[in-house]
Amino acid sequence: MPGGDARETAKTVTGSFADGQGMPYLAELPARGPGADMTGRTIGMLVEMFGQVEPSGWRISDRPGRDTRRARSWLGEDLDALEEFTQGYEGLVKVQAVGPWTLAAGLELRGGEAMLGDPGACRDLAGSLAEGVRGHLAEVRRRVPGAEVVLQLDEPSLTAVLLGRVRSASGYRTYRAVDRQVVEAGLREVLAVNGDAPTVVHSCAPDVPLALLRRAGADAVSFDFSLLTEREEEAIGEAVEDGIQLFLGVVPGADAASDGLSDPGGSVMGVRTLWSRLGLNPGTLAESVVVTPSCGLAEASPAYARAALAHCARAARSLADNPE
């Protein structure tokens, strides 16, 4: 979300869905600076692993320094605000963390290379992340006792990790592709900490590996609908028939496309067309699809962000009321 006011943001993301059409969530406010960004926030959750900001990005450190403390402080501030505006609430609440592979691609070892290049470091990172997320989920449940907590792992670098496209620190080479079974196991370890509660994996990059994510235990997959390729369509049909939910990013995340917010039904027309092309039952749209912004609202104005969230709810209602 845009801006840096935790209370105002929590008020927005809970109030936008006051009629039960939508899912409140613990928002990230990266405009506050390092530690409030998605990577920094997740580093603040890690157990017995710490990070600090270097000119090149986040790097592993020996002890919890200023940057880790700041990340934890902002997370606490955001949790306070969410707790304040969810008094008496019962229902779904979504929280998110960077997944183990995008984190490994973006977090540097002490020598400056990404953790992704060290299999042992990747295993340690996944274990630390799993324990940290477990504690985070417990804290959210303590603060919002009526919540069914949905865990989302953000994995925008996942496809690049699988295809060996993550560049080294020098930029002259790429890290070796990680074996798909190893990737699957790392994701499964972290997703499993949410128990029987719902889990989502999000990627705003093309070629999301839907089948791998299903095997890893994701209950839902979130992606930018405009990046959907023909190759992915068949996998979507199989996923839906297996009961996987789709969080489809069909609402633009920036003000430049604000004209598109005037027609909720038009926003999901492509989804209806896809359902028809795949031969799926239109009656399953409402239960299979969650309408979302394309990839976050951090670059939007606060007014547009509020309008986009309300538009998502209206577009979802349009799918439910008029599936054909």
* CB 247, CB 292: distance < 8 Å: yes
This prediction has a pTM of 0.95
DSSP 8-state assignment for residue 117: G
Under DSSP, the state recorded for 175 is P
The CA distance from 12 to 197, in Å, is: 25
How distant is the alpha carbon of residue 174 from its chain centre? 25
Contact assessment for residue 115 and residue 107, using Cβ atoms and an 8 Å cutoff: yes
pLDDT single digits (tens) 238-295: 999 999 999 999 999 888 655 668 889 999 999 999 999 999 999 889 899 999 999 8
DSSP classification of residue 78: H
Is the pLDDT at 64 greater than 70, yes or no? yes
DSSP state of 25: B
At a CB cut-off of 8 Å and minimum separation 6, what does 163 contact? 177
Q: Give pLDDT tens digits for 159-193.
A: 999 999 999 887 789 999 999 999 999 999 999 99
Cβ-contact 30, 9 below 8 angstroms: no
Question: Contact, 116 vs 166, CB < 8 A?
Answer: yes
Q: What is the mean pLDDT of the chain?
A: 93
Residue 123 burial (C-beta neighbours within 10 Å; 0-12, 13-18, 19+): middle
CA distance 324 to 320: 10
Tokens of 302: 């606060």
The tally of CA atoms less than 13 A away on the side-chain side of residue 286 is 12
Q: Delimit the domains of the chain by residue range.
A: 1-198, 248-324
| pLDDT score at 68 | 95
